[in-house]
A and B are shown apart, each in its own frame.
Chain A
Amino acid sequence: MAIGWYLAVSALIFSIGAGGVLVRRNPLVILLCLELMLNAANLALIAFSRMHGNGDGQIFAIIVMVVAACEVCIGLGVIVAMYRRQLPIDVDELRELQG
């Protein structure tokens, strides 16, 4: 199968993820969408790895997954902390960082 198909799926998933990050306001969903984007990148990495016939891309994908796991841990932790402090679960409401 040509590499194009893999990339097309990857791009599709990435776009879905990106769109989700842009339109959703719930941090949980944004986190999910970020995961989608990361996995889309993983898919592309593995496809290229296969194409070139070496393992670099796969190793890279695994590192990405580790990072993603860490990120989810922190992200979920932040969301739980927000919930505990009774802050609104809505990224548009959380804008204290404006300049």
Chain B
Amino acid sequence: MNVTDYGWLILLFPLVGSILIGLGHRVLPGRAAGIIGTTAIGLAFLAALGAFFQLQDEPHELRQITSVLYDYASTVGVDAEMSILVDPLSLLMCLVVTGVSTLIHLYSLSYMWSDKGYARFFSYLNFFVFSMLLLVLAGNFLLLIVGWAFVGAASYLLISYWYRRTTATTAGVKAFVINVVGDIGLVLGTYFIFKHTGTLDFLKTFEGAEEFATEGNGDLTAGLILLLVGAFAKSAQVPFHTWLPDAMEGPTPVSSLIHAATMVTAGVYLIARMHPLFEQAPAAADVAAITGAVTLLVAGTIGLVVTDLKRVIAYSTMSQIGYMIMAVGGGAYVAGLFHLMTHAFFKALLFMAAGSVIGAMAGQQDLDKMGGFRKAMPFTFGCFVVGGLALAGVPPFSGFFSKDEILLILGDRGGWYWALYVAGYVGAILTAIYTWRMIFRAFWGEPCPEAKELEAGHLHHAEVHTNPANGEVEDTDVGFPGSEHHIAERNAPMKVAMGGLAVLAVVGGVVQIPEVTHALDSFLEPSFEESAIAQASDNTGLMVFGLALGTVLAMVGIAIAYRLWVQTPEVPARIQARFSFLHRLFVNKWYFDELIDLVIVRPFAWFGRFGQQTFERLVVGAALIGGPTGLVRVGSATVRALQSGFLRAYAALLFAGVAATVFYFLVQS
């Protein structure tokens, strides 16, 4: 089998899994749905490995391979084919996606077991993995957009998975609509590019990139900025980020897989994939880098004040993706993808651990109500600590190396990229503070009642389940939160999945240790070899400085968090009161939701109501309909009046008419 055969297999397994589970949702016994789903993704991972080894056998310059299955919509000058592009970049993404997905499926096997929509969950989840793989393997713009939208749809389905919760369905619609805005950006951007290159195929487009840049630079920049709209919407970058925190309404494995490890990083992949174009239009690349920097700071500040466990991690995700976007926007492609990979490990791990805590809290997610879980859940605690250290960037955990490589390359570029460098380190200390704030509040301090119950050997179950978002009594007909909850301490599959990720989060950095290993660099080289910007930095002084600074900042951040939330727990409240303006701004998420509501939603709803109540009645109903139909009505009323029913009147009219005709002809002749 050659490389692209493996590529098609990677796509096939999750699709078949999704369809099998969907069709068999009634007849599949017990955990069969979960096992099928997990196996399908596992097979896809094996296929990705197969492709990986096969690709290593190919000569260096032939490692970008396109395969066409059939003509999808090739007509009137458009060449949209069903084609995939297998190269180191897409393969790296495939490996990360299928690898992390396998573990998360394994975790879900137990975590979702008491849910009444067990089969539905796995069908959706497999569909998501299929879509994500389609996105990364797509060989042309049209297929990329298809994958792009499919992951959006899968994300929508999984966010509003507990569809009796109005908060969940609202969050789902919000995510979907913002993502559609992104899709539109993508389609329009594609049009701008297609206008000049006349092809949708990636490789052919990149071949013409230089020529394109000379003849229509304005169009190229416009097109790329529109592509960035798509990337920002999917990757939750300012100002298209508001859907991500709300997306935490979905089940925790979903947050872990889609809203942390894979889908939200699609924007990073897109920019990396399009780098030949971005290098021809530096203005667009700078927009990406700056937006990434802004997002990482905004999200970091919000992460400091949020009290919902999952939302803290969600804002941290936003912030970390900010790093990646900043990296690929600033030309540090390999570093960005490196961070994408390590982030997938430790963030998925953090979400899984959070799921375990939420299980112990019987669905409750508020940090204010948690505390002292350290003794009750040692395994979960361990995972949290590993994830937290990796996220904060403490050596030698994986996040340390990837984050520092990004900042090193940006710093090395000099010029105004120093601003990004500084923003990155400011973000690093924020990251350390909010991550450890979360950990200290959940695991230190006085054990909460649920923790005590667990220490006594009994898992807490709420009598009446309420929606944590609005206090509504849950409709448990559709499943979660059902009578049972699951925690990692008591479930082998959950434990295995979390353990695997914990190991990866610890050692994931070894592939790219400065001055020691360059595995990722050399693997990805065929994808980026023609790049003028991407090259490893050889500024050793800056590198050593960066590594040291990163270590210090992470330690300081953790220390601040320890001081504030463990040693002197009354201080945060005082700081809150002192800086109440800032606190309000952060708690209200910089008022982005309100702004969008005011600028877009309300005027539009008003327009709709105006149309419905006024325009439709007065203009369309009265003037336009009234005109023609009124004329016909008046005419028919006149004619009707003549139909008196008097036979003799008709006869008289007849005679009069005949007489008049005769008379006319007499006069004429």
Pairwise interchain contact B646-A92, C-beta atoms closer than 8 A: yes
B644 / chain A contacts, CB cutoff of 8 Å:
95, 98
* Cβ-defined contact, A25 with B648, below 8 A: yes
Q: Which of B641, B647, B652 has the most CB of A within 10 A?
A: B647
Task: Give bound CA distance, A80 to B322, whole Å.
Answer: 99
B643 in complex: contacting residue of A25, A30, A98, CB < 8 Å = A98
Residues of A within 8 A of B643 (CB): 97-99
* Complex alpha-carbon distance, A30 and B646, angstroms: 13
Cβ of B578 < 8 Å from any Cβ of A? no
Question: Is A95 within 8 A of B645, CB to CB?
Answer: yes
Does A2 count as interface, using CB distance less than 8 angstroms? no
Interface residues on A, range: 10 to 19
**A4-19 contacts to B (CB < 8 Å):** 18
The secondary structure that dominates the A interface is loop
Which chain B positions have C-beta within 8 A of A91?
Answer: 646-648
B632 on the A face (CB < 8 A): no
A27, closest chain B residue (CB): B647
- Contact: B645 with A97, CB < 8 Å? yes
What residues of B have a CB within 8 angstroms of the CB of A94 in the complex? 645, 647
Query: Quick check: A18 and B655 within 8 Å, CB to CB?
Result: yes
Task: Answer whether residue B642 sits at the interface, using C-beta atoms and an 8 A cutoff.
Answer: yes
> Majority SS of interface residues in chain B?
helix
* Residues in A whose Cβ lies below 8 Å from that of B655: 18, 22
In the bound complex, do residue A92 and residue B642 qualify as a contact, i.e. CB atoms below 8 Å apart? no
B319 to chain A, nearest CB (A): 79
Q: Are A96 and B651 in contact (CB under 8 A)?
A: no
Tell me if B640 counts as interface (CB < 8 A to partner A): yes
- B634 at interface, CB cutoff 8 A: no
Taking CB atoms, residues of chain A closer than 8 Å to B642 are: 99
Interface flags for A65-99 (1: CB within 8 Å of B; 0: not) read 00000000000000000000000000110111111
Is residue A47 contacting chain B, with contact meaning CB distance below 8 A? no
Q: Which residues of the other chain, A, contact B646 by a CB distance below 8 angstroms?
A: 91-92, 95
Cβ of A21 < 8 Å from any Cβ of B?
yes
In the assembled complex, the CB of B641 is this many whole angstroms from the nearest CB of chain A, namely 7
Q: How far is the CB of A28 from chain B (nearest CB, A)?
A: 13
Minimal Cβ-Cβ distance residue in B for A21: B651
Complex-state Cα separation, A22 to B649, whole angstroms: 8
Given the complex, which residues of B lie within 8 Å of A23, measured CB to CB?
648
> Mask for B618-653, Cβ within 8 A of A = 1, else 0?
000000000000000000000111111111100110
> Distance in Å from the Cβ of B267 to the closest Cβ of chain A?
71
Residues A22 and B645 in contact, CB atoms below 8 Å apart: no
Q: Output the nearest chain B residue to A15 by Cβ-Cβ distance.
A: B655
- Please indicate the chain B residues that have their CB under 8 angstroms from the CB of A30 in the complex: 647
Q: Are A99 and B652 in contact (CB under 8 A)?
A: no
Distance in Å: Cβ of B291 to nearest Cβ of chain A: 73
Task: Report whether A22 and B647 are in contact in the complex, using a CB–CB cutoff of 8 Å.
Answer: no
Measured CA separation A35–B596 after assembly (Å): 87
Q: Among residues 445 to 468 in chain B, which have CB atoms less than 8 Å away from a CB atom of chain A?
A: none
Query: Which of B641, B647, B648, B651 is close to A99, meaning CB atoms less than 8 Å apart?
Result: B641
Considering the complex, give the chain B residue whose CB is closest to the CB of A97: B645
A94 to B639, CA, bound (A): 20
Given contacts A18-B655, A22-B655, contact A96 B648 (CB under 8 A): no
**Complex CA–CA separation, A53 to B655 (angstroms):** 31
B44 to chain A, nearest CB (A): 76
Q: Which residue of A lies closest to B651 (CB)?
A: A21
Give the CA-CA distance A26 to B652 in the complex, in Å.
Answer: 16
- For the complex, give the distance between the alpha carbons of A34 and B21 in Å: 86
**Docked CA distance A30–B651 (Å):** 11
Residues of B within 8 A of A92 (CB): 646-648
Indicate with 1 or 0, residue by residue over B161-176, a CB within 8 angstroms of chain A CB atoms: 0000000000000000
Closest Cβ of chain B to A53, distance in Å, is 25
* A98, B640: Cα distance in complex, Å: 8
CB-CB under 8 A from A25, the residues of chain B are 648
A21 vs B658: C-alpha distance in the bound complex, in angstroms?
Answer: 15
Residue in A22, A96, A97, A98 whose beta carbon sits within 8 Å of that of B652 in the complex: A22
Contact A22 B648 (CB under 8 A): yes
A31: min CB distance to chain B, Å: 12
The CA-CA distance from A92 to B640 in the complex, in Å, is: 18
CA distance A99 to B636 in the complex (A): 10
Least distance between B646 CB and chain A CB atoms (Å)? 6
Quick one: given A18-B655, A22-B655, are A98 and B648 in contact (CB under 8 Å)? no
Residues of B within 8 A of A (CB): 639-648, 651-652, 655
11 more A-B contacts (CB under 8 A) besides A18-B655, A91-B648, A94-B645? A21-B648, A22-B648, A22-B651, A22-B655, A23-B648, A92-B648, A94-B647, A96-B645, A97-B645, A99-B639, A99-B643
Q: List 29 A-B contacts (CB under 8 A).
A: A18-B655, A21-B648, A21-B651, A22-B648, A22-B652, A22-B655, A23-B648, A25-B648, A30-B647, A91-B646, A91-B647, A91-B648, A92-B646, A92-B647, A94-B645, A95-B644, A95-B645, A95-B646, A95-B647, A96-B645, A97-B643, A97-B645, A98-B644, A98-B645, A99-B639, A99-B640, A99-B641, A99-B642, A99-B643
Which residues of A approach B to under 8 Å, CB–CB?
18, 21-23, 25, 30, 91-92, 94-99
Nearest 5 CB-CB pairings of A with B? A95-B645, A98-B645, A99-B643, A99-B640, A91-B647
